[in-house]
Amino acid sequence: MAYIIDEGEIKGVAFDWFGVCGQKLIDAWEDALGLPRDSPMRKPFFAHLDSWATSEINGMAFLEKVLPVVGLEAATHDYLLEHPGVIYTGVLNAVRDLRKAGYRTALISDNFDEMVPSIERCIGGFREYFGTVVLSNERKMTKKNPAIFEVTSDFMCVPNVNILFIDDKEKNLEVAAGEGYQTLLCDDPHAVPRALRQRGLEF
Q: Taking the mean position of all CA atoms in its chain, how far away is CA 158?
A: 19
What's the full length of the chain, in residues? 203
- In the chain, the amino acid numbered 33 is L
Separation of alpha carbons 187 and 178, rounded Å = 21
The C-alpha angle 3, 129, 134, rounded to 5 degrees, equals 60
Indicate whether 3 pLDDT > 60.
no
Tens digits of residue pLDDT in 70-112: 999 999 999 999 999 999 999 999 999 999 999 999 999 999 9
* C-alpha angle 196-201-202 in degrees, rounded to nearest 5: 120
DSSP letter for each residue of 119-132: HHHHHT-GGGT-SE
CB 162 within 8 A of CB 4: yes
Positive or negative torsion for Cα 183, 83, 43, 75: negative
State the Cα–Cα distance between residues 192 and 198, nearest whole angstrom: 10
Q: What CA–CA distance (Å, rounded) separates 122 from 14?
A: 20
Measure the CA–CA gap between 8 and 67, rounded to whole angstroms. 45
Instruction: Dump pLDDT digits (tens) for 32-79.
Output: 999 999 999 999 999 999 999 999 999 999 999 999 999 999 999 999
Distance, in Å, from the CA atom of 119 to the CA atom of 50, rounded to the nearest integer, reads 19
pTM of the model: 0.94
Q: What is the mean pLDDT of residues 185-191?
A: 96
Q: What percent of the chain has pLDDT over 90?
A: 96
**What integer is the mean pLDDT of 146-161?**
98
Phi then psi for residue 108, to 5 deg, are -120, 110
H or E element in which residue 118 lies: helix 116-123
Cα 148 to Cα 28, 48, 133, 157, distances in angstroms: 26, 20, 11, 14
Residue 8: per-residue pLDDT = 81
